[in-house]
Structures are given as structure tokens and as C-alpha cells.
Amino acid sequence: MRFLALGAILFASAASAQQTVDGAIRPPLSPRNANYSIDARLDPASRTITGSEVITWRNITTKAATDLQFHLYWNAWRNNRSTWLREARLGAGRNLANPRDEDWSRIDVTSIALRASGGSAPADLTQLQRFVAPDDGNADDQTVMAVPLPRPVDPGAGVTVEVKWTAHIPRTFARTGAIGNFFFIAQWFPKLGVLQDEGWNCHQFHSGTEFFSDYGIYDVSLTVPQGWPVGATGVQRDRRDSADHTTTHRYYQEDVHDFVWTTSPDYIERTARFEHKTLPPVEMRLLLQPEHVDQADRHFEATRTALKYYGEWYGAYPYGHITIIDPAYQSGAGGMEYPTLFTAGTRWWIAPRVTTPEGVTVHEAGHQFWYGIVGNNEFEDAWMDEGFNTFSTARAVAQAYDPNYYSPRFFGGFVPYVIPDIVLRRETDGNGLRSYRAVAKSDAQSTPSYRYYPSTGGGITYSKTGLWLNTMERWLGWPALQRAMSTHFARWKFKHPKPQDFFDIANETTGRDLGWYFDQVYRSSNVFDYGVQELKSALENGRYRTTVVVRRYGEAVFPVDVLVKFAGGDAVTEHWDGRDRWKLYTYDRAAAAASAEVDPNQVLLLDVNRTNNSRSLAPKGGEAATKWSMKWMVWLQDALLTYGCLV
């Protein structure tokens, strides 16, 4: 990417709210309409959680609520007929034809009741609970529970719900579960969906999408074996040891939309601090595996990178603390984001300038902004978080870690080999394009994310968004794109933005009607593909008659430059609006043409076939041979390294 100097830093909005050391924030940043007080006890031997919660919920819509709908995410792995496992086929790569008991999980709600209010009697709703499947009608799916209310909850009114449940912890699915004595507990409690004017937005759990919930206050007490460190959303307010050799840790956090926790006797704790001249300080806590202790500073520096650049570009991180988790080997819990906490991921023997753990750490810390603070609907519009964050991660990593290297690993990931930077750049340039190109026509991005064709979500959600944002940066300039993204962040933090909200802000802040662009990159699966179809240069009456035919091979339209170079060094740049299927340029000159290229500055990163973008009448001797010889040398070096480890 190309980077321009940043003009302004958004800070004032976050500075007005003060984060205290105990997880409280004044004044409130969010509506706080879904508040949870939870007590949970872990039995590591049986891998069970026994829990109870009190939910204080307020209806902030314009319509009365006649029922409550809850996510029971762990029921996705209750049986192999769930929608999640049907979509994942073999369930995250594991063969479930003959499953072991620890593969499975479940959440059983044993009691649900409304607390008495306004003189009314408490209402036991336990026998009224039922499972619904709003997305696909799958009668075997039990990830959404609906409970009718004895009386409607009017707009502005609220209810207090008491829920008791038991849960069996799975061997890790979707980054939650247990392996050995490592426990990472996410999406683990009965959680309300989001009531909107159209009704409950409470999707079934799908294998290709994540989560959506309202903001509130979480006050959570976790009882675990004594001596086991705990990491969790928020700040620890209290810790009590009991005679049964357990410890109860109480964590508290305001203005978040989820709560996650982890515990293991193997964790090593380290702490550090993020400081910046214009951004608020952040206390950083790292729980990492013993074999990775020497990488602690790398985790902290990568977290600082995200807090610094995202804070400067978009707006300040408001919570004052963040927890970084280095998950256990083969736990499957790495690379995931939660409010004020994220999981990273690393390996043994990481060489300098190889961006492990830096890449994943920057990415997951960056999710605190687009996932945590700007709470879009991950079921329906996952690209508004994942895609924005993919773009932002690449930009931050390029600022902080240049050069960086690629390190393939052998023998199950134990033996690393660092590929030189020159090869890295040739081999990895355009990785996002390759990921997108493979699925470019599979779905329009406007299709709800949970309905994407299987195995295409990454290319559409992550790569396509990163490419069209990067295209906007190269086309409009970084100041224009930064202004749009920071305005979106400021206007929609602690709310639930939809795609059109961002598009409207982009139009507003750039002073342009960009609807034609968003119609193509978001509402369409048409692809961009421009190329040089023909280049000729013939001597006629002592001068060279040059003809250049450029063509739009794809259905999508974008303005592109056409660069024609002539022998002797002269060049002409044409500005083509890109609308016609083809365009002819002719020149009468004393020198013959040397080459022609469409989009020479690589502005349109969404072009799915850059191999047809240029033609040459004067081949550059040796360049292709050098490229392929470098590839063969890398393959040969890898083969020799592998052979050397065997003898």
C-alpha cells in the first residue's frame, strides 16, 4: 500500500468518558439495555459448567415484545444434525462418524423465570421454552430458544429474567472448548438476541458466521480450581478462596456486548502498558504458555501497534485495559476476538521480522474497534467488521513491520524456514486478490453472510472488502478514506450500523456520489477485468503507426489509466472511463511503441486478472527467467532442508 501522512487524530469523543480501574465507565457509552449478572462454577474433571444468571433487559425498539429469544450456541455441537454441523459437513475438520464423548457439548436450561415487578407475581416460564429455527426450519437445531411472555414488554419498559443452566464443555469447536487442562470458554451462557423494530434478530448458529448482541454491563463470578489463573472480559474486582480448594474470581465490565473467559494452571502472566501522547493509556495483561515466555514483548508490541494506529486513524480505545491470550498448542482457540480480550497465536522458534505472533495479534487487537466498539451484525454483515479489520491490519502491519518475512514450517509445524524478503514480496503480493478471485462470482457481498455459498465467506467477507477499501484509498487518497472510516467509527460506536450507514457517510465525507461503486462491490458479484487486447506498431512513410486496443473483459466498470510507452523513453497516459467494452488509441510517431499497460499504478486492486493488463513489443530479457529461477531455488532449498533433517 501507499501511505500518506495522517492529518488529524480523533480523540475528544473518547476522552469525555472515563474508564476506572474496576471496569466502570462514566458517563455510559452505550444504551446498556442488556445487562448480565452471572455466577458459574467449572468442574474441570467432568468438563461441566453450572451457572445461573440474572438478565436485566430493556426494550429500546418502537414495538412491544411478546416473547424473548435466546442464543444457546453450544447446542450447535449437541448432535450431528444441527445446522452448524450440517454446514461444516465434517465439523471443523474432525470426523464425527464415530465421535468421542468429549467432542460434544450442550446447554440445558433447567429454569427460567421472570422476577416479580410492579406488584405482579413471579412467572415460571421453564415449561414454555421451545426451540425455533428462523433461518432454515431445521427441527433438529437447538441453538435458538424462544420463551413467550405472560404480558408484552412495551417500548421503554423492561423485565428481569432469572436463568439457570448446565453446560458440557466440548473439545474445541469454533475456538471454544477444552483440551487437557486448558479451558477457553466463549459463547457459553444463554444470551438474548437483539430485538429490532422488525422483531427478534436471533439467528441460528452457522458455521461461517459469528455473533450479534446488545451492549450492557457484565458482572460475572467464576469459580475455578485454586491456583488456576483466570483471564476474562473486564477487570477483576474480587477474588475469594474457599475451603473446597476453589477460587471465585469476580470480573466486571460496562459497555460491552459479550463476555468470555479462560483458565489453565499452565498460564504465565505478564503485564505492560500502552502509552501515547494523545490517546488514553491502556493496561495490557498477557496470559501465555510457558514455552512462549520469550515472546511476551512481541505480543505487547503488536498490541501497541493496533492501539496506536487504529486509535490515530479511527478513534481511541475506551476501556483502559486489554487481555491477550496465548492459547495452548492444538487447542484450536487462537485468533479470535472478544470485548477487551482476544486470543493470539504463535509457534516455537520464531525468527525476527517473521510476523508471528505480530500479524494475528494486530488483527485480533484491531477487532476491538470494528467488532467490539462498532457493533455491526456479524450474522448478516460480517464484512463490516472482518473486511474493515483486514484492511486496517494490513495497513498497520505495513507501517510497523517493514520488512517482514514468511516462514513455512515442516514436520507438523515444528521446523521453520525463513524465506528471504525479496521472495516473500514476489510470492505473497496479491494474496488477498487470489483469495477473492477464487470465489469472486459465488455471491454478492450484500447476501446475508450466513447465507454465503459454503467455503466462500473468507474471500468475500475478508479479502474482497480489503481490496475495495484499498482501491478507494489509491483512488480517492488516504485522507478521504480515513475521514470516512473515522466518521463511521465516531457516529456508530456502541450502536448497530448497517451497510447503508457506511455508504451514506462515505458519500457525505468525500463529497461524491459513490453509489455506482458500492453497487458493484457490494450489491453485485460482477468482476473487474481490464486488459490490453492488441498492441501494434508498424513503419509507414518513415513514421510508426501505433494502435492500442484495450478491453473491459469483466462486467464491472471502473475508470482506469492506459500507459503507452515508446522506444526512446517517451510515454503517453490516457484516462479511460472504462465503460465501453473496448477502446482504440492510435498514434503517429517517429518511434515505435514499446509497451502498453492498463492501470499502471495498480489502483484497481479488484482486477481479477492482472496477467492481461499489459503487452510489450520489446520483451525485457531475463526478467521472467529470474522470476521462475527464484521460485525453483526456494523449492530446492526447502527440499534440501527437509532432506537434511532426515539424514
The larger pLDDT score, comparing residue 413 to residue 239, is at 239
Provide the sign of the torsion angle of the four alpha carbons 503, 504, 508, 511, taken in this order: positive
Tell me 518's DSSP state.
Answer: H
For residue 18, the model assigns a pLDDT of 58
Checking if the pLDDT of 261 tops 90, the result is yes
SS3 call for 210 = coil
32-57 burial code (b ≥16 CB/10 A, e <16): bbbbbbbbbebebeebebebbbebbb
For residue 403, the model assigns a pLDDT of 72
Identify which of 496, 501, 508 has the alpha carbon closest to the alpha carbon of residue 522.
Answer: 501
Taking only the tens place, the pLDDT of each residue in 632-643 is 666 555 555 544
Please name the residue that has the C-alpha cell 510517431: 589
Taking only the tens place, the pLDDT of each residue in 306-326 is 999 999 999 999 999 999 999
As given in the structure block, the three cell numbers for residue 638 are 526447502
Element housing 199 (H / E): strand 199-201
Taking only the tens place, the pLDDT of each residue in 20-46 is 567 788 899 999 999 999 999 999 999
The full set of domain ranges for the chain reads 33-214, 409-521, 530-616, 621-647
Is the distance from CB of 533 to CB of 582 less than 8 angstroms? yes
Would you tell me how many other CB atoms lie within 10 Å of the CB of residue 85? Answer: 22
Provide the sign of the torsion angle of the four alpha carbons 607, 612, 616, 620, taken in this order: positive
The larger pLDDT score, comparing residue 350 to residue 376, is at 376
Q: Are 33-214 and 530-616 in the same CATH fold?
A: yes
As given in the structure block, the three cell numbers for residue 146 are 424462544
Please tell me the distance from the alpha carbon of residue 359 to that of residue 392, in angstroms, as a whole number: 11
Identify which of 446, 360, 371 has the alpha carbon closest to the alpha carbon of residue 396.
Answer: 360
Taking only the tens place, the pLDDT of each residue in 386-442 is 999 999 999 999 998 877 766 555 545 545 545 554 333 333 345 577 789 989 999
Global pTM value: 0.89
**Mean pLDDT for the chain overall:** 88
For residue 93, the model assigns a pLDDT of 47
For residue 626, the model assigns a pLDDT of 63
Is the distance from CB of 576 to CB of 561 less than 8 angstroms? yes
Identify which of 577, 582, 615, 611 has the alpha carbon closest to the alpha carbon of residue 596.
Answer: 615
- Crossing angle of helices 465-476 and 383-400, in 10° steps, is 60
Residue 90 pLDDT grade (very low, low, confident, very high; cuts 50, 70, 90): very low
| 173 conformational bin, left if phi > 0, alpha if psi -120 to 50, beta if neither | beta
Mean pLDDT value of segment 179-190 = 96
Please tell me the distance from the alpha carbon of residue 613 to that of residue 604, in angstroms, as a whole number: 11
SS3 call for 106 = strand
For residue 8, the model assigns a pLDDT of 35
For residue 345, the model assigns a pLDDT of 82
Counting residues of the chain whose pLDDT is more than 70, the rounded percentage is: 84
Identify which of 170, 211, 209, 175 has the alpha carbon closest to the alpha carbon of residue 194.
Answer: 211
Fold that domain 530-616 belongs to in CATH? Immunoglobulin-like (2.60.40)
User: Of the ranges 58-72, 139-153, 539-553, 613-627, which one carries the lowest mean pLDDT score?
Assistant: 613-627
The larger pLDDT score, comparing residue 94 to residue 404, is at 404
Question: Vertex 358, ends 356 and 363: CA angle to 5°?
Answer: 115
For residue 105, the model assigns a pLDDT of 94
Counting residues of the chain whose pLDDT is more than 90, the rounded percentage is: 74
For residue 62, the model assigns a pLDDT of 97
Mean pLDDT value of segment 180-186 = 96
For residue 3, the model assigns a pLDDT of 31
Q: Which one-letter amino acid corresponds to residue 64?
A: A
For residue 353, the model assigns a pLDDT of 66
Please tell me the distance from the alpha carbon of residue 229 to that of residue 23, in angstroms, as a whole number: 19
User: CATH code for 33-214?
Assistant: 2.60.40
Rounded CA Rg of the chain? 27
Would you tell me how many other CB atoms lie within 10 Å of the CB of residue 12? Answer: 10
The larger pLDDT score, comparing residue 634 to residue 365, is at 365
For residue 5, the model assigns a pLDDT of 33
Identify which of 548, 532, 554, 550 has the alpha carbon closest to the alpha carbon of residue 607.
Answer: 554
Taking only the tens place, the pLDDT of each residue in 110-161 is 999 998 766 566 799 999 999 999 999 999 999 999 999 999 999 999 999 9
Number of H helices and E strands in the chain, helices first, is 13, 34
Please tell me the distance from the alpha carbon of residue 575 to that of residue 603, in angstroms, as a whole number: 13
User: Of the ranges 355-364, 369-378, 533-542, 587-596, which one carries the lowest mean pLDDT score?
Assistant: 355-364
Residue 257 pLDDT grade (very low, low, confident, very high; cuts 50, 70, 90): very high
Please tell me the distance from the alpha carbon of residue 520 to that of residue 516, in angstroms, as a whole number: 7
